[in-house]
Chain A
């Protein structure tokens, strides 16, 4: 590479320093790139993999049949479950005859890869857009079924609509 010796104006350093300072000064008046977090938030893409949600069908019955495919698919072994049989008086609660009595996801192990969502044959688990919130103890990060289930449309209609709404809105926007 050719290195031409510096001419007098360059050797003085001062003219180029002043040019640099003018550039820096002009940055004071440009728009700032910072997003003030809790007040403004960055939009996520519709396929963003956030917290898991256990789905229900249109009548409000839980979809999950405790087949265990999500637990097998999980590369971090974060999901554990125990199955139970549906009793005759619980027909309005569960979609199939087998349901998950205990379903736990350890958020500290989960890598948010989405393989459980892909593996589920019943469209029972999907990943929403929220972050995993913070907590003080490790125990608090093991989410049980009631923390993961989508709200019941029969009892909490508004919360169900809100929870579903984001998903539907994003599907429409795709």
Chain B
């Protein structure tokens, strides 16, 4: 009898949502590669790819097909099992984080309220951090299993970089959590939506500018993105930890980096910029005129606009700044960002206590 009491439609909607989010992340990661080339070109006084399809829009398909058709080389002296697992791990951890991001409020289909967030765990941010820490394994295993000194050095550098900047990231978020009082991402977004001016004055970036700055810098480091891209330094380390990979395994590593970028932008947008909140617009009054579903979809579009801006920002910084040297990188992470994050936390705590008196 208990089987009939299980709400099967719940499984179906979650499954569809998972399928949708994964497909969506993959497509966006594909077009992020295209956008990267176009933005790089435009910033360098040239045109990007514009021959494959109109405006070069089919270029990512051409790249993907090229990677599929290449020869799959597994070095003889490498550890075969770990060689294959490395990219898979990188991809899995990149996708796992997308489960707790609130993509929109809720949509009303056939009388059921379907929330556009796959899993509203009440420890949302902690989950995100846990999964990001697992991302180190992908790089470390990939670099080590290649049985190549350069890959090993690159993997070790990558791992040390990621774990150093995780600390500063966590500390900068503690100040934010003191303000919001909850770890669940959905609650954070809803609190930001309650601000004045249609939600704009509720955005956390206005109350935590330093926290935002530190978090952004650490997000750059977590994605192995210039100026912190020493692990994949093309000139110094012969392409870094994914040197021995070919065909789709390399494709997975490169893809995982872009998905990481996309998810980091989504998290920055959710935590500091109001998530699916449309600024200067009161969602509740809009829902009376347009209907709840349309407002939810507009919220998703607003989130995507914010994510696109951050992706553009990632690429803009990449083509502006030279790379950090390894000791400068470690210096920045441990000796500068952690004290700054701690100071931020203290100041926030003092202000909160003072305002609560």
Residues on A close to B: CB < 8 A?
Answer: 17, 20-21, 23-25, 27-28, 30-34, 36
**B320 and A24 form a contact (CB under 8 A):** yes
**A21-B312 Cα distance, complex, nearest whole Å:** 12
Residues on B close to A: CB < 8 A?
Answer: 42-47, 50, 316-317, 319-321
Q: Of all chain B residues, which has the CB nearest A12?
A: B336
**B45 and A21 form a contact (CB under 8 A):** no
**A21 and B44 form a contact (CB under 8 A):** no
**A40-B184 Cα distance, complex, nearest whole Å:** 56
**A25-B50 Cα distance, complex, nearest whole Å:** 21
Q: Of all chain B residues, which has the CB nearest A37?
A: B51
Q: Of all chain B residues, which has the CB nearest A36?
A: B47
A127 to chain B, nearest CB (A): 31
Chain A contacts for B42, CB-based, 8 A: 27-28, 32
Chain B contacts for A28, CB-based, 8 A: 42-43
**B317 and A21 form a contact (CB under 8 A):** yes
**A34-B321 Cα distance, complex, nearest whole Å:** 24
**A17 and B45 form a contact (CB under 8 A):** no
**A31-B44 Cα distance, complex, nearest whole Å:** 10
B205 to chain A, nearest CB (A): 16
**A32-B50 Cα distance, complex, nearest whole Å:** 14
Q: Which of A25, A30, A31, A36 contacts B316 (CB 8 A)?
A: A25
**A27 and B320 form a contact (CB under 8 A):** no
**B316 and A21 form a contact (CB under 8 A):** yes
Q: Of all chain B residues, which has the CB nearest A16?
A: B321
Q: Of all chain B residues, which has the CB nearest A29?
A: B42
Chain B contacts for A20, CB-based, 8 A: 320-321
Given the contacts A17-B321, A20-B321, A34 and B316 also touching, CB distance less than 8 Å: no
**A32 and B46 form a contact (CB under 8 A):** yes
- By CB atoms of chain B within 10 A, which of A24, A25, A33 has the most? A24
Q: Which of B46, B317, B320 contacts A33 (CB 8 A)?
A: B46
Chain A contacts for B321, CB-based, 8 A: 17, 20
Q: Of all chain A residues, which has the CB nearest B42?
A: A28
Q: Which of B45, B50, B317 contacts A27 (CB 8 A)?
A: B45
Chain B contacts for A33, CB-based, 8 A: 45-46
